[in-house]
Amino acid sequence: MKPELFKRIISSLLLMSLLFLSALINDYIFLSIIFIVVILSWIEWIKIIEKIKFKKIYRNIHIMLFMIYLLITYIICFNVFVIDKYFFLSIFMICVFSDVGGYVFGKTFGGKKLTKISPNKTVSGSIGSFILSYIGFFVIYFYFNNIFFVKLETEALFFIPFFISSICQLGDLFISYYKRKAKIKDTGNIIPGHGGLLDRIDGTIFALPIGFIVISLL
């Protein structure tokens, strides 16, 4: 296994373990960690935008809109977590596995490029994201199923991993587009094998709020 791939997998497992443990031990600790991540991600976003040759007014609009979006995302996630944290963690698991699956399958199998926006993204990586999303979701969902407040129909169980993973991948491409315009590879270097926090949660910050809104309509 390549050192970079190994480092990314270990980082993902450690981050996932940290968040799960904090969520199961104390709700306030978990929500505080998430809030800190939101703030640090916004700071990384500012650095990206400042590297792009926008006029000042457009630069400020990008910065403010993203801050508003992150706050709305946090509020939605906060409410869902308070109502049913196990369901929240199950959906969060999809995002984690989607990211890991895309990276592992993409690096392992390579193949046709997915889009010009992010040359490193491949079709095999996209397929891997879907595969691991289903695995991660069903393992956690059925493990915690007896303590869920949220009950889902069978059709929804098969729709959710696909939908959440799709949004994750689109969110990843969205941030990649801005990184490409800013001519940077990573949003930071705080996480070994991942880069910045925004590199790690780029898909998650879009998938969680949109996913919870859609799921509530099912």
Average pLDDT score over residue span 21-46: 90
Residue 118, CA distances (Å) to 15, 20, 159, 170, 174 in order: 24, 30, 26, 11, 10
Q: Which helix (H) or strand (E) holds 213?
A: helix 204-216
Mean pLDDT over the full length of the chain: 86
Segment among 126-140, 151-165, 197-211 with least mean pLDDT: 151-165
d(CA 133, CA 127) in angstroms, rounded, equals 10
Per-residue confidence band for 8, with pLDDT thresholds at 50, 70 and 90: low
Model confidence over 121-135: pLDDT tens digits? 899 999 999 999 999
Q: What is the number of domains present in the chain?
A: 1
Report pTM: 0.88
119: containing domain: 3-216
Average pLDDT score over residue span 70-91: 90
Model confidence over 46-69: pLDDT tens digits? 999 999 988 999 999 999 999 999
Angle at 206 between CA 94 and CA 33, to 5 degrees: 75
The contacts of residue 190 (CB under 8 Å, 6+ apart) are 40, 196, 197
